[in-house]
């Protein structure tokens, strides 16, 4: 069985660490571009997206001026073990709306209804919930009450209603993470280890992947609307 806990204030360090580990371990699913471990840029995105989530978890203390909430699943057999999380952003001027920013569950707990339970808990709080996902996951989210309303970059845009909220959602500017000293250091290390050509090839591969996923998402939504 799973226990769900809602947070809108800072979390303990053990929970924080397990959430960040979930992000690192499930990066391909969390990143919109679905970057694969075989891509040489993978470790850069592990750090960068992990740091994005870290910044949002820090924002639970209210000092960053945006609303952040968290739904955490833990194992009843081992209450200290985080089995999944959903990090979502309430909409400032629409009390029924929120947008899901990041979510993941342990591979070992997939098919046990952890994600479904977390999303149900979120949508009970915010009946107008929006998320993005890959084409391959659309059916699973449809089964949880979401419907396709469009695309956002390489992903399909889904909502519990047939439209997005008109309200404003506060988000953090995470662009600086990708210009950080740490990211540059990882990139320099990868460049030294693999060479310039291999790194350029990895960037081209990533860009092709994004283009392909974007085209796939648009085609999928267009087919639904035919």
- Residue 111 is predicted with a pLDDT of 77
What are the angstrom distances between the C-alpha of 110 and each of 70, 113, 132, 166, 204? 19, 7, 19, 34, 32
Enumerate domains of the chain plus CATH numbers: 2-225 (3.40.630.30)
pLDDT at 24: 95
Q: Are strands 128-133 and 97-105 parallel, antiparallel or unpaired?
A: parallel
Per-residue confidence in pLDDT tens, the chain, 226 aa: 789 999 999 999 999 999 999 999 999 999 999 999 999 999 999 999 999 999 999 999 999 999 999 999 999 888 899 999 999 999 999 999 999 999 999 987 777 789 999 999 999 999 999 999 999 999 999 999 999 999 999 999 999 999 999 999 999 999 999 999 999 999 999 999 999 999 999 999 999 999 999 999 999 999 998 8
Residue 90 token pair: 């309430």
Quote the pLDDT of residue 108: 79
Q: What is the pTM of this model?
A: 0.95
What are the residues whose beta carbons fall under 8 Å from the beta carbon of 106, sequence distance 6 or more?
22, 82, 83, 84, 114
Say whether 204 sits in a helix, a strand or coil: helix
Distance between CA atoms of 24 and 45, rounded to whole angstroms?
Answer: 9
Residue 91 per-residue DSSP state:
B
């Amino acid at each position: 069985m799973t226990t769900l806990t809602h947070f809108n204030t800072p979390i303990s360090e053990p929970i924080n660490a397990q959430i960040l580990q979930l992000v690192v371990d499930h990066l391909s699913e969390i990143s919109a571009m679905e970057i694969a471990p075989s891509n040489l840029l993978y470790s850069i995105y592990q750090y960068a997206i992990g740091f994005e989530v870290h910044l949002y978890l820090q924002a639970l203390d209210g000092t960053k001026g945006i609303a952040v909430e968290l739904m955490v699943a833990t194992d009843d057999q081992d209450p200290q073990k985080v089995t999944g999380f959903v990090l979502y952003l309430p909409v400032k001027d629409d009390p029924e709306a929120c947008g899901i920013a990041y979510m993941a569950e342990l591979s070992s707990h997939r098919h046990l209804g952890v994600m479904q339970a977390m999303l149900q808990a979120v949508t009970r709080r915010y009946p107008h919930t929006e998320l993005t996902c890959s084409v391959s996951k659309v059916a699973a989210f449809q089964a949880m009450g979401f419907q396709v309303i469009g695309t956002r970059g390489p992903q399909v845009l889904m909502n519990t209603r047939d439209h997005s909220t008109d309200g404003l959602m506060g988000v953090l500017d995470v662009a600086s993470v990708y210009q950080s000293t740490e990211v540059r250091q990882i990139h320099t290390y990868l460049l030294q280890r693999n060479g310039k050509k291999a790194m350029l090839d990895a960037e081209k591969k990533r860009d092709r992947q994004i283009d392909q996923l974007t085209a796939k998402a648009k085609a999928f939504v267009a087919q639904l609307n035919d």
